[in-house]
Structure 1
C-alpha cells in the first residue's frame, strides 16, 4: 500500500448526506474485452447479439422484482426503463449496423454504440438527461457480460471488493444494477470520480442510506486502495488517512446525527403539529400499490404525489 500524506482531502459533489468510515476499496469488475474482431458470418453474429439482448431483458425483469422491496416501486421502475431501452429501435439497429457494415463482433459493436449514446447524453444541458448516460453504460455492459457468459469466457459474479469490515466503495462510476446489489452491511460509503448527483445510482444510494460523494475527479486514484478514509457527505470532502483529532471530531458528529435520527423515531405515530399547535399534513409520493406498506411504515398521512405514469408503463393495454 502506497504511503499517502496524512490528512489528504479530496473534494467532490454530495449525492447523499451522512458520515462514513472505512478502508477505500476500488470496484473490481470482470475484465470484458472489447477489441474488434473480424466476423465473416455477420448474420450469425447478429443472432448472437439478439440472443444476449433477450437474455438481458429477462434478467432486468428479475432484478425489478427483487428491487421492489428494497427500493420501492418508484426506484425499481428504472429496471423496466432499462428493458425499454434494450428494445429501442435506434439503439438495436445501430448495433446491428456496426456488426453488418464493419463485419465486427457483437461486443465491439455494443461498446461503440454505447460510447456514442453516452457521449450524446453527457453533452446535454439538462442534469437529469446527463444522468441517463449511466443507464446506457449499464445496459450495454450487461449485454457484453451475457455475450461472454454464453461463450463460457465469463462467470457472472458481478462486482467484488477487497478488505474485511466496513469499506468505502470507490469507482469511476457505479451503474444502477451494481448499486442495488451492494451489501449494505459491508459498504458504509460510496465515492466516484465521475457520475451525477441526479443519477439513478445517487437516488438508490439515498434510498439505501449510504453516504455518497460523486465527481471527485482525477484525484481519486487507485494508489489510495486500502487507506482508511472518512466520507463527509455533508461537505463533499473525503479525508484520507485522517489524524486522531479528525477521526474523533467526525465520530462525534456521526454520534450526534445517529442520536437525532433515533430521537425522530419517538414522533412516529404522533400528530404532525408545529410548536404553535398548527396541524401539518405529511404526505408521501407513490407510484403503485406496492409502495403503500412502505408509506404506512414511514407514518405518512396520505398521498401527496401519485406517479400515474408508472401504472401506464406496467400495463400491457389501456
Structure 2
C-alpha cells in the first residue's frame, strides 16, 4: 500500500463507525475549538441579564434547528436537541454560571469554565456513552458564547458537492444542518461508536472514521481524501493508482448493492427448502424505513434503552407509548419484538443511580435492574400493552438466568394488564412473551424456560462473553473470542432442541447473525430466525439462498466435537 502513496500522501488510521467508501475534498472545520478571555466586570447585574438573554436566544435557535432537522434526521435523532434544551434549564449549570458572574467574571468565561467543569465529570466516567455526552455540553456552551459575541453560527447547509467534513469533533447542531446529498464522509479526532457523529453517519449512510489523532492539523481545506468506513483508513492526497483502486471498489460496492436488490422479493430459504426468517435489529424509529427497504420480515430486536439515554429523567408512559405505537404502525402487522430496558454493564444511566460495581457486566443490569425498579418497569410494560393494539407486538426480557425472573416479569405484566382493565384502556390479548438466551445458565435450563415463554432469542454477543470468560472489549484477550468454540455451539444447539421440543421458535440477534462466516453454521444448528442490522439483511439473505441445510447440519456435527 505504501508504494501507492506519493511524497505528499498520508495514510491515517482511525475507528470505523459507519461503513462505506467516500471520495472527495476536505472541508476542515476548526471552529469547534474556542479560546475565551477572562475579564473583570463591574456591573454584574447587567452581565447577568446579558447571560439570561443569551439563554433565551439559544433556546430559540435550538428549537428552530430541531424543527428543521426532524425532516432530515427523523424524530428520534432530532430529540438530541431536547438534551440541549435540558442543559439550558439545568439549575446546577445555570447557578454555577450565575455565581461566577456575581463574583465579577464576564459571562463568556463563566460559561466556559462551568461547561468544562461538567464536561470533565462526564469524561471521567467509565461508560463510553456518557463520556460522549460531554460533547452536548460543549456544543451548548459554544452556542452561548457565540451569541454573546454576536457571531453567526457555523453554516453547513451550503457545502460544495463531494465534501468530506474534517473536524476535531462535529457537534449535533452542526450535523443537523448538513445537506447530506453533498457529503461523502466524516472524519473526526474525537468520538466513538456511540457518538452523535457515528449514530447520524449510520442513519444517513455516510462513511465515517472517528478517533483520528490531530486530524485537523494533518489535513487542509481542499485536500483530496479517501475515507474507508470499513477498515478505518483515511488517505490524504493519495496517488492516482490508489484513487483508481478505490473508485473501482466504490463501483463494485454500488454494483453489489444493486445485485442485492434482486433478492428483495425472494423468499428467504435454503437451497433444500429450510425457511429462515429474516428480521431487523433497530434502536431508533428512523431505522424502520431502512429495515422495510431491505425486506425485513419483522423487527427481531428493538433496543428500548436508547429511549432512556441522553436525558435527565426516564421517558413517561405516554412518550414511550407513542414510540412503540409508531414502530408497530410502520411495520404494518409484521412481528415486532421489543426488548424491555437493558441497561447496566456498559450502558449506564445517571438518573437511575446505579452504584459503581467491580464487575458491572455481572451485576445490577437488564432484567435484574427492572425487577428492582418495579414502577419504572411497569411504566414501560403499560406503554407496551397500550401500543399492542396497533400491530403484532412481542415482548422480550433480557439476561434471564433463572425461572423466577420469568415468573416475576410475567406477574408484573399481569398487574399492568389489571390496571389497564380498570382504566378501560385496551390492549391486545395475543402478545407473545419471550426471553433472551445470553447466559450459559439460561441455555442450560432452556428446557425449563421453554415451558414458560413463547420464543427465544439468542444474544450471542453476551453468550460468548460469559461462556468463554472473555471481555470482548479487552484487546489482550480478544483473540480468545471464538463464536465457533464447541461450548458455544453446544449451548446454541441445546437451546434450539429444547425450544423445538416445546414448539417454540429460536432467533439469533447477536453480531454473528450477520457475519457471512457464521450464518451457515447457525442454519446448520437449526435456528428459525436471524435478526441483523437493516443494512445487512440482503447480504444475509444471499448467503441463506446459497446454503444447503443438510450439508451445514453435517458440518456442525463435526464442529461440535472439535477441540
**What TM-score range do you get, normalising by the shorter chain?**
0.7 to 0.9
Q: Deviations over 1:232-264 (max 9, x none)?
A: 111111112212221121112111111122233
The equivalent position to 1:232 in structure 2, one of 210, 228, 233, is 228
Could you tell me how far apart the structure 1 residues matched to 2:105 and 2:227 are?
Answer: 44
Could you tell me how far apart the structure 2 residues matched to 1:55 and 1:269 are?
Answer: 51
Could you tell me how far apart the structure 1 residues matched to 2:122 and 2:199 are?
Answer: 18
Could you tell me how far apart the structure 2 residues matched to 1:168 and 1:211 are?
Answer: 10
- 1:73–1:287: 8 Å Cα contact kept in structure 2? no
* Alignment RMSD: 3.0
- 1:32–1:144: 8 Å Cα contact kept in structure 2? no
**What's the CA shift for 1:313?**
8.8
Q: Is 1:11 equivalent to 2:20 in the alignment? A: no
Q: Tell me, which stretches of 5 or more residues in structure 2 are unaligned?
A: 1-5, 309-314, 320-378, 380-563
- 1:8–1:239: 8 Å Cα contact kept in structure 2? yes
SS in 2 for 1:257: helix
Q: Which residue of 2 aligns with 1:169?
A: 165
Change in CA separation of 1:281 and 1:223 when aligned onto 2, cut-off 3 Å: closer
SS in 2 for 1:242: coil
- 2:184–2:206: 8 Å Cα contact kept in structure 1? yes
Q: Deviations over 1:83-115 (max 9, x none)?
A: 1122111111111111112x1121111111112
Q: Deviations over 1:6-54 (max 9, x none)?
A: 4421111112121111122211539966212222221222222122212
Spell out the pairing of 1:1-318 with structure 2 (5 A cutoff): 5-27=7-29, 29=31, 34-101=36-103, 103-148=104-149, 153-158=150-155, 164-218=160-214, 220-221=216-217, 224-268=220-264, 271-273=267-269, 276-283=273-280, 285=282, 299-303=295-299, 304-305=301-302, 307=304, 309=307, 312=316
Q: Which sits farther off after the overlay, 270-279 or 306-315? A: 306-315
- 2:18–2:198: 8 Å Cα contact kept in structure 1? yes
Max Rg structure = 2
**What's the CA shift for 1:217?**
0.7
- 1:73–1:291: 8 Å Cα contact kept in structure 2? no
Q: Tell me, which stretches of 5 or more residues in structure 1 are unaligned?
A: none
- 2:156–2:179: 8 Å Cα contact kept in structure 1? no
- 2:163–2:184: 8 Å Cα contact kept in structure 1? yes
Q: Deviations over 1:184-241 (max 9, x none)?
A: 2322111112222311121111111211111111254156332212111111111122
Could you tell me how far apart the structure 2 residues matched to 1:234 and 1:287 are?
Answer: 22
| Aligned residues between the structures | 306
- 1:285–1:307: 8 Å Cα contact kept in structure 2? no
**What's the CA shift for 1:295?**
6.0
Q: Kindly indicate whether structure 1 or structure 2 has the higher relative contact order, using CA contacts under 8 Å at least 6 residues apart.
A: 1
- 1:21–1:166: 8 Å Cα contact kept in structure 2? yes
Change in CA separation of 1:249 and 1:30 when aligned onto 2, cut-off 3 Å: closer
**What's the CA shift for 1:176?**
0.8
**What's the CA shift for 1:60?**
2.1
- 2:203–2:287: 8 Å Cα contact kept in structure 1? no
Q: Which residue of 1 aligns with 2:430?
A: none
Change in CA separation of 1:271 and 1:66 when aligned onto 2, cut-off 3 Å: farther
**What's the CA shift for 1:145?**
2.1
Q: Which sits farther off after the overlay, 130-139 or 303-312? A: 303-312
Q: Which sits farther off after the overlay, 300-309 or 139-148? A: 300-309
- 1:284–1:302: 8 Å Cα contact kept in structure 2? no
Could you tell me how far apart the structure 1 residues matched to 2:302 and 2:20 are?
Answer: 27
Change in CA separation of 1:225 and 1:147 when aligned onto 2, cut-off 3 Å: same
Could you tell me how far apart the structure 2 residues matched to 1:31 and 1:84 are?
Answer: 23
Change in CA separation of 1:30 and 1:126 when aligned onto 2, cut-off 3 Å: closer
- 2:24–2:162: 8 Å Cα contact kept in structure 1? yes
- 1:57–1:86: 8 Å Cα contact kept in structure 2? yes
Change in CA separation of 1:17 and 1:283 when aligned onto 2, cut-off 3 Å: closer
- 1:26–1:161: 8 Å Cα contact kept in structure 2? no
Change in CA separation of 1:301 and 1:74 when aligned onto 2, cut-off 3 Å: farther
Could you tell me how far apart the structure 2 residues matched to 1:285 and 1:60 are?
Answer: 27
Change in CA separation of 1:14 and 1:281 when aligned onto 2, cut-off 3 Å: closer
